[in-house]
Amino acid sequence: MKYLGLEDKVVLVTGGNRGIGAAIVNLLCQLGAQVAYTYRKDANAETTALGILADVTDPAAMAEVASKVEHKLGPIYGVVANAGITRDNLFPKLGIDDWDAVIETNLKGIYNTLKPIIPKMYERREGSVVCVSSISGERGNLGQVNYAASKAGAIGLIKSLALEAARYGVRANAVAPGFIETDMTQAIPEKIKEKIVAEIPLRRFGKPQEIAWPVAYLLSPIASSYITGAVLKVNGAHHT
């Protein structure tokens, strides 16, 4: 399966031990990339990719991740900023700790991940960044003021970075998944899940692999070489 031009490209995926991140790691390995991923606990048992225990909210740890990956695998070509959390609540009950945790992880975590890597991509004049945003960041969602703000912020970050990075031959894009079957969505009560599925024209939640392929496409120096600053909706036509 080697046709996206990702063979031997070094790619770092944050939060690659489970869910969407694990599917991305596993697919990129099949596509011949040299993959490193970060995790907070429990490494990805399905892969031989380089796993590094690191918290995206810690800038020093993320700087160490970048140098470890470069030392062990070589110059980083691709970054997938995937790590993310939810702390849902309706606004009157949304505590400042839940606001801070979500913004720190989902938005500042992207800054911390990219900060040590982007200047080197500019020097090498190649690179592709893909950020995992969300349908919530595009249209908002009940109980997700914090999460939607972080995911909309990620879109603004990527669009601005794309403008700055273009002159260096570096691209930056986002995917905006709809509802995907992972631990994150397992917490949704069955009755609410049924209501959501009824609103999705494809009549089902997506699978992690169905996000991994669009991510691989956006990383690819062949398949998406003229795409930057884009937000790819991957949501079964949910509210599109």
Q: CA triplet 225, 66, 84: central angle to 5 degrees?
A: 75
CA dist 181 and 131 (Å) reads 19
Active site annotation includes 147: yes
| Residue from 51, 78, 127, 177 in contact with ligand NAD (CB under 6 A) | 177
Q: Is 113 in the site for ligand NAD (CB under 6 A)?
A: no
| Residue from 182, 220, 224, 228 in contact with ligand NAD (CB under 6 A) | 182
Q: Is 20 in the site for ligand NAD (CB under 6 A)?
A: yes
Strand-pairing partners, residue 170, are 127
Q: Interacting stretch for ligand NAD, rule CB under 6 A, among 67-75, 122-130, 181-189, 196-204?
A: 181-189
Tokens 């945790």: give the residue. 101
| Residue from 9, 19, 52, 69 in contact with ligand NAD (CB under 6 A) | 19
In sequence order, which residues have a C-beta less than 8 Å from that of residue 89 and are 6 or more positions away? Answer: 95, 98, 143
Among candidate residues 147, 168, 217, 226, the one labeled active-site is 147
Q: Is 55 in the site for ligand NAD (CB under 6 A)?
A: yes
Are 13 and 74 a contacting pair, CB within 8 Å? Answer: no
Are 136 and 87 a contacting pair, CB within 8 Å? Answer: no
Binding site for ligand NAD (CB under 6 A): 14-15, 17-21, 38-40, 55-57, 82-85, 105, 132, 134, 177, 179-180, 182-185
